[in-house]
Structure formats: structure tokens, C-alpha cells
Amino acid sequence: MRPSTGGRYEIGAMKHDQVRAPSSLLVRKRFQFAGALFIGAWLPWFARGPLLPGELFEAASLNTLAGNAVAVILAFWTRLSIETYPGIRRSYVIFPSALTGHGVTLVWFVLTRFPYDRLALLAGFVLHVLFLYTLYIFAERHLRRRIAVVPFGSVERLNQIPGVDWVRLSRPRLHDARKCDAIVADFSSDLPDEWEAFLADAALAGRIVYQVKQLSESLTGLVELEHLSENSFGSLLPARGYFHLKSLADFMFALLVLPIALPLMAVIAIAIRLESRGGALFKQKRVGHAGREITVYKFRTMLDIPAEDARRAAMTSDDDERITKVGRWLRKTRLDELPQIFNILKW
């Protein structure tokens, strides 16, 4: 390790701060779980009486409290199972995981016919989602991570990704990566034996070890197409049984979550109409499965301003002046994609 300009220190070729910044309480899993449990389960229960109709200790109230708590637990477990990688992918799983947890709870109440409070159940879902997206927007998106890099293979691409302190390791010692959040390596490269042993020791020690390609895609949101992969039968033909089974599963899931999604979609549609003129939905023709033309539905996030250049009008950027205030929030939370549930229901 040798000093460099700007009061920073260098290991190998990549630089990092000498002292690691303390991790924020907001990004800790225990805090997120406890906060979601309080916001999504306890808060709607405490609101019985002053804000919501009913008594605290009646059967419907207690059943709803338990149902919201179970939904938060299921959603948290789903997120832990899915969001392996940091970056853009985390925002994709927040709403689906919460929808899954609360949807399962709702189905259980419907099938068992236990008394429950629909309003408190809906409030728990909405508060749960808002809490998680608030944490993502104000905490995780601005979190600067430190990741150790095994210096072999195609790891130089990582230098172009901002928002991360990349620490290039010069020797296969776990001690050098002790202040890093994770380790990344190119598993497809020919690693020396001592570095393979290093990665094995890191995994056994409970350290997170990423593959460089997947980590890069997660942080940038750009998927690299390397080659066409054949299936297990040596062809590019998909398994038709899997395709139909997947479509059926998607349809049943969309049907299940529709009663929960509709009220949220109604609120979003009203907010869009109140802010600007025009319809709440944006429709666009796209090419779907097998080259068939489909109509994609999204919530409108921009002002309907005619542009002389049709190509420019179809392209948007983060600082596009046509994006409305509600639209900017919808884009950040990915809720502008919610109307696509109707495409699933249309098969």
C-alpha cells in the first residue's frame, strides 16, 4: 500500500480510502425488517380506533395484525432469496416481493374465511411498499460500496462503473479484503491455484463473492449478450411445455394480485390526471413473442408535447424536461410498469 494524490491510498492499481465509512443503519437488514414489521403490521393495528374503524383486540383486528406480520416476513424472505446482487436489480424485487407476501395472506383469509379487516390489510401493504421504496431511494441508491477485485480476467470494466470503491487485491489474503463489502472475480478466467483457494476460503468464511459479469449487469442495468445458448437438446427451440406452464403461472399470479393492484393503480391514475392533461395510460406498439405485435400499457410519466423530431420524441433521458413530478417518482419506483398486468391477463 502506498500513498497517492488527494489523500487516498492505493492497493495494486485501484484506489480506496484509508478508513472505511461506517455503514448506514438504514441499509442494515435487521433495521429494514424491524421497520417493515412496524410500518406494515403494527402501525395499521395501532390505527384501529383513532383512524380506522374497529377495536384493537377484536378478532378481525388481531387476525389482520398477524396476517400483515406474516406478509412482511414472507416478503422479506423473498427479497433475501432474490436480491443477491446490489444495484438496479434491487428496485425490481421490492414491489413483487411485497405483493407476493400480502397476496398469499389475502388468499389465506379468503380460503379460511377467518374474519379480517380489508382496509387495514390494504393499508399494511401500501405502507410496507412505501417504506421499502423510501429506504431504497434515500439510502441504498446513495450508498457507496467497497468491493475487492481479484486481478485476473475481464475485471477492468469495473473501473468504468461509478458509485463503488474498487479495491484491487495484490495478494490472495482475506485480511486485505476485511474492510470490503464483497469480493468480485472473473470465474471464467484461468485463476492461479492460490487465488482459487482464496475464493474458496472467502466463501467458507461467509464472505460474498460475485461473478464480474453479473455484478456489472446489476450495477449498470445493461445486459451483455455474449452468444446464443442452445438448450439441453442441442437446439435453440424452447421447451413448449415450460412456455405454456410459465404463461399459466404468470396468469394465475396476475389474477391473484389484481384486487390489491387495482386500488393502487386508481390512486396513481388520479394523481397523473390531476397533475397534467392527457390520459393516465401510455400505449405503445411493440413486438412480442414469436414476432407478434402487442400493445404495451404503462402509466404516462411525461407531458404530451409534440416534437418535430419523432425519433427524439421517442427517446428519453433522466433529465428530460417532459417528465412530470409524478412521472419521475413512478419511474424511480418502477410503478409505471404496473398496467402491464393487463397484458399478462390477456395472455
Domain boundaries of the chain, sorted by first residue: 2-18+145-220, 25-141, 240-345
Q: Does this model's pTM top 0.75?
A: no
Residue with cell 428496485: 91
pLDDT value at residue 226: 59
Q: Is the pLDDT of residue 73 over 90?
A: yes
Contacts (Cβ under 8 Å, ≥6 apart) of 22: none
In this structure, CATH architecture of domain 2-18+145-220? 3-Layer(aba) Sandwich (3.40)
Distance between CA 231 and CA 246 in Å, rounded? Answer: 17
pLDDT digits (tens, 9 = 90+) for 86-145: 655 566 778 888 988 999 999 999 988 899 988 899 999 999 999 988 887 776 656 677
Please write the tens of the pLDDT for every residue from 17-26: 333 444 566 6
Strands (E), 212-333: 281-287, 293-299
Quickly tell me which residue has 469480493 as its cell.
183
For the segment 253-264, what is each residue's pLDDT rounded down to a tens digit?
888 888 888 889
